[in-house]
Structure 1
Amino acid sequence: MTTTLEGSHFPGRHWHRLDDGRVQCDVCPRECRLHDGQRGLCFVRAAWDGAMVLTTYGRSSGFCIDPIEKKPLNHFLPGTPVLSFGTAGCNLTCKFCQKILADDY
């Protein structure tokens, strides 16, 4: 977990405050328990002023036009381009992952 928080913060859901003042994320099984200023393992959620906030809300880390055949939409409008986008963040720690470099911003 990191302690660097910059930029705008959007209120998060699915969390609760612990007796010791930390906040606990309830989104994934990791259940990150964070002090103010810390980010969870996913780098998407953080503790800020005693609440859980989203640090990537409204900020995309990648856009791409892909062929529809690349998506899990079997036989849906063949040959159609589709917009793909996403934010940084993952709660896995795969040693071979190249995406971790994009998440560690």
Structure 2
Amino acid sequence: MARIREAIDHYGLTPEELFGSAVKSTARGRRAGKAATATKPGRKAAGKRVGTGRASMGSPKYHDGAGRTWTGVGKRPNWFKDALAAGKKAEDLLIR
């Protein structure tokens, strides 16, 4: 924990940069909205980072006809496994 705190202070990171914009404040007394400031002579404040938001889950790729869908990423849902066990092929469940 001490090494992490030291690195945060060294790089002048804010709670928003670490945890996103949903952070209001922390127990360390840093305020949300506070700009990153230079902590050492000759250092520039960190600029706004792009692409740090959460990635979207994607659009559904498979469906069962009863309203259940799956993107094809991650663990297979039970309805998908049950359909395969019943003799259907993955191609049969594709959304077209």
* Same fold at TM > 0.5: no
The structure with more helix, counted as a fraction of residues: 2
Structure number with greater CO (CA < 8 Å, separation at least 6) is 1
The structure with more strand, counted as a fraction of residues: 1
- The two structures have a TM-score, normalised by structure 2, of 0.20
User: Could you say which structure has the larger radius of gyration?
Assistant: 2
- The two structures have a TM-score, normalised by structure 1, of 0.19
